[in-house]
A and B are shown apart, each in its own frame.
Chain A
Amino acid sequence: MYWKYLLKRVLNGIIIYIILIFIYSALFNVVLEQTVYAQIEERVRAETMALSGRNMTPEQILKWSVDRKEYYYRQYRLDRTVFERVLLRAFNTLTFNYGMSSGIKSSSGTRDVRIIVTETIPRTLLLFMTAMVIDVLIGLLLGIKKAQRPGKPLDKTTSIATMVVFGMPSWWLGMLMIMFFAYIVKLFPSGGLHSTPPPEGFAYYIDTLYHLALPVITLVLLGFWGRSYLTRNIVLGVLQEDYIMSARARGIPERKVLYGHGMRTAAPPIVTMALLALLASVSGNIVFEGIFSWPGMGNLYWISVQQNDIPVLMGNLSLTTGLYISGLVILDLVYGFLDPRIKVGGKG
């Protein structure tokens, strides 16, 4: 029955994605069309300049440029009704056809928004996944330790630390870390993906790791407290169940009770929590990349906002939404896989 559940979840995700893209298209249609108008204007002006060599009267040139504009309006379907235009834009976005940027170039030099955005995705995933793996590992270990001895000094102090970092912006901590570790102590580079020029061969990966270190440390430093607190609450909740008490009463060693009985129940919510944390981190800390000039999706938001490059902004948003929804679907699938109640039920 699991495949049925899987199919349902995936379809559901796709439908939500389509609806959201449609809403984006309707919401941002006006601004996006302004950029298209500006691009057409620019193109016609360039073509008119090229004409000046030929013998044409000013009236002819004027008429010609008006004709060209009309032609382009037709080509970009700007002469249709608003509804048709929104529908068309949604369709284009769904087929990853984001058009041309108004200035930003990809590392290979094209102005195709799709290439600009897609080349940043792996970098973002590298940064946030590395951070999340370390984060979850530390959080899990610490959380179980906390749950074993609730109310003891370790539990108390780490819980307070959780609350202390609760409202701390990651990018602010990043600024402080750069200030301290890149400019005062000079231990780490201040940002970027690798040094210029990037070294060859194996050293390339070492160099990337070296550049990855400071942002990852910053994210972990803020993240693992919350993760351990949640793990603690989940495990503590499980440890108070009757079957744990009965297992203890039967004289099963505490280690086995915890890892054999307790963790089996606690695993699905913990995995969910970890994945959810990754999603929340990508969606909430994305700007953080800009501080470290890490050339990922977050940095692209930063650049496109500063250069007011609406097509890139929209393309980036659409792909971020797509990734985010896929993450949510994967989350559900994993949860369904781990939790037998959902696997058997199937009807949902």
Chain B
Amino acid sequence: MKNLTYLKFEVLRTLRNRRFLIFALIFPLVLFFAIAGPNKNVIVEGIHFPLYYMTAMASWGAMTAMLSSGARIAAERQIGWTRQMKITPLSTRSYFSAKVLCGYMMAFFTIIALGIAGSILGVHLSALDWLKLVALLVVGLIPFAVIGILLGHLMKVDSLGPALGGVTSLFALLGGSFGPIFQSGFMLKVVQDIPSYWLVKSSQSVLSPSGWPPLQMWIVIAIWTLAMSRLAVRVYRRDSSRVT
């Protein structure tokens, strides 16, 4: 990102949009205190519930934040601002990079806020484990950055709200953000192929004997990123060749 002034104003615009701040930050935070608070000593999937739920809510909020960049892309397409940007020296790559960086910035707010909330409810991790947890969340969010760009080109603004809400909820639900839904069997194998499963699983990965997630996580994230990128490129090209 060569142009810091451009990025600064994109960040400013992101921060001024309060709606996503509410959905990506306040909702997960409130839910975390409401549900993890009374269940401080419960053990879920081998770890303390506050740690599980902190990661789960951070994943949910961070996914919302990443996908919200799609809403901004769709809005700018609709008003014709995207075309106006195409007749400036700003490259397509920089345009999307700024959107993804803003998505990550919002995601960081959510992750940090939930980290603090987790500490308040007694989550205790070493500095290295905190770092590893954040790193795994950052990597796990890559497919969602691409899905945001994809949805931003696929949807019109009026259908985007429900679409983003639906997609985020589905990923959050199947991934286990609201509690693990499949403990074993065929359906567990299915949800393990979804990137949000591994986001929610990040804290267990950090606390596992090896200290790292299994190979499967890296494969799932790589495949989703590649597949979604190919789709996004196709949809972007179709969108750019339109006459209007």
Do A and B interact? no
Interface residues of A (CB under 8 A from B): none
